[in-house]
């Protein structure tokens, strides 16, 4: 009797295992989907090439900068300027100020989000402090640069783009890193 049921049971167990795998496959699928569509306001996490296209002087786009440390993050974290008017295609640099008021070394990671989400595909960062983790010893401060341009292909309905950064404390997740850097006397 059991022999008769074995092929079907095996298939069903296989489906269940495959669906368990599918649950995890949703993670990269979600990222790919968001990258392709620019949904969720996710910007690219790697640098764009600096050879920008022709500057479109016929229109201006307002870029707003928002910065916010996460609740558990003790740093002061602010943009140097909160608003900038740019032509699509122009390369601009702006700075963010970070200050560590505590007495210990803290590692931070900034996570960007662009609003409206559909504009995220057209906001290119040539250099960004958000590409890597930032280390700051206690009582120190620093300026963190952001170099960007807006794609001239940006649809005309977008006249304002808001770039928001949330800064997270990732010190505990990068303990090895801090151990090495403090040994180096950083």
Residues 186 and 179: their CA atoms lie apart, in Å, by: 10
Q: Please give the angle made by the CA atoms of 128, 130 and 135, to the nearest 5 degrees.
A: 110
> Of residues 23, 54, 85, 156, which one binds other proteins by CB under 8 A?
23
Task: Tell whether residue 74 is a contact of other proteins (CB under 8 A).
Answer: no
Per CB under 8 A, the list member of 56, 78, 173, 186 interacting with other proteins is: 173
Quickly tell me which residue has 């590692």 as its tokens. 107
- Whole-number minimum distance, CB 145 to other proteins, in Å? 21
- In degrees, to the nearest 5, what angle opens at C-alpha 112 toward C-alphas 159 and 51? 65
**Which residues, 142 to 161, sit near other proteins by CB under 8 A?**
none
36 is an interface residue for other proteins by CB under 8 A: no
From the list 176, 111, 173, 123, the residue with the least C-alpha distance to 153 is: 123
Name the nearest CA neighbour of 147 among 84, 79, 95, 85: 95
Taking alpha carbons only, the member of 110, 116, 126, 112 closest to residue 62 is 116
Residue number, 26 or 143, with CB nearest to other proteins: 26
In terms of CB distance, is 45 or 57 closer to other proteins? 45
Q: Which residues of the chain form contacts with other proteins (CB under 8 A)?
A: 2, 4-5, 8-9, 12-13, 15-17, 19-20, 22-24, 26-27, 30, 34, 37, 39-40, 42, 45, 70, 109, 111, 117-118, 166, 168-170, 173
């Amino acid at each position: 009797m059991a022999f008769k049921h074995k092929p079907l049971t095996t298939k069903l167990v296989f489906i269940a295992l495959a669906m368990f795998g599918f649950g995890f496959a949703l993670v990269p699928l979600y990222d790919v989907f968001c990258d392709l569509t620019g949904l969720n306001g996710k910007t690219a996490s790697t640098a764009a090439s600096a050879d920008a296209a022709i500057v479109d002087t016929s229109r201006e786009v307002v870029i707003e900068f928002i910065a916010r440390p996460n609740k558990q993050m003790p740093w002061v974290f602010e943009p140097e300027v909160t608003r900038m008017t740019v032509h699509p295609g122009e390369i601009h640099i702006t700075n963010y100020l970070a200050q560590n008021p505590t007495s210990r070394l803290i590692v931070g990671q900034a996570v960007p989000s662009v609003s409206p989400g559909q504009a995220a595909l057209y906001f290119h960062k040539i250099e960004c402090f958000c590409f890597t983790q930032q280390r700051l010893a206690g009582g120190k401060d620093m300026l963190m640069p952001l170099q960007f341009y807006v794609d001239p292909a940006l649809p005309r309905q977008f006249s304002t783009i808001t770039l928001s950064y949330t800064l997270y404390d990732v010190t505990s997740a990068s303990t090895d890193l801090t151990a090495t850097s403090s040994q180096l006397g950083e």
